[in-house]
Structure formats: structure tokens, C-alpha cells
Structure 1
């Protein structure tokens, strides 16, 4: 994630009120663009996973299935903050799938 976005996300609320209008508008636009980009990435990822799931071959995963899972694992490692799953479980699923393709 871009350093500017990280700074904006971690900015103390008391600092928002002291910003000039032009800076505030710039920051809001940057946040909106970032949300749009992440939404598009997540949507593409879900589409790939749905396609891979619909066309899966559990015994012999095809390249598009492995790539969909690889993309999902990469995205989840960067962005998943939940407690239901651990990052190691994502990597394990991918490793198991890649093992079947060898």
C-alpha cells in the first residue's frame, strides 16, 4: 500500500480539522481512488475464484485454478485482518494445490 495512503489511514482525527481545504480534498480524492482500485481488484479476484471453483478438478488442478488461488492468497496476505483464518492456512491451501500439479 502506498505510504501516503498509510499516513492518511493512520492520521489522528485531531489533525483532520487543521488541514487546508485543498489538502483535505486531495486526500479524500486519493482515498476514493484507492478504494475504487481495491474494489476492482477484489471483484476480479472473486470472479477468478468463482470461475475456478465452477470448473475445478480436485485431483488435477489446472493452471487457471492454481493462479486464482495464488492471487487470492497474495491478496489475503496483504489485506485480511480477520480472526477466522490464519495466513498460514492460506499458504497451506496453495501449497497443497501446487503439489498436485507437479
Structure 2
């Protein structure tokens, strides 16, 4: 298990049409550190965003895509995505409001 601080776990929010539609169900998508666990993601969200209470966390590992530039081929980095479900009485996450 990685020795990560809560501010190192969440890298950035994921803003797509699908993630914006799921916000009505209090589900928020984040790009997280590849070695972060579900428990670490839950603690990070509750500490970084005041008044939030996490009900569940779903994570997925995304493989890197194959890329080519001329004759050279390679892969992009692996990433990890987390979808965080908040409880009904939890506060909204302000970073997503107004988008």
C-alpha cells in the first residue's frame, strides 16, 4: 500500500458529459493516484471538501493507449479513476458547481 497523504490522492476532477449527468445522483468522478485505495480516496474526499460524507467509492484502472509518432510507437501512462457516491444528507462539492 502506498504511503500517500490525502492531498496526493486526488489528482484532478473528471469533467465529461457522462460525469456531469451523474452529478444529479451525487456521484463525482476524479482522477486519482494509481496506487491509491478506496479507503484513501474516501478519506481524501471527506478531508478536502468540508461537509461531505462518502457512501461508496468505485475505482477502475485504465490501461495506457497505444500511440505512434512516425516510426516510433509507445504507450501513454496508466491511470486510475474513482467514482465517489455521496450520502443523501451530504453537502455538494463546490468544485463542480457552475459547470
Which TM bucket (shorter chain)? under 0.3
TM-score (norm 1): 0.25
* Structure showing the higher strand proportion among its residues: 2
Q: What is the TM-score with the length of structure 2 in the denominator?
A: 0.25
Q: Based on CA coordinates, which of the two structures has the bigger radius of gyration? A: 1
| Larger RCO (CA within 8 A; separation ≥ 6) | 2
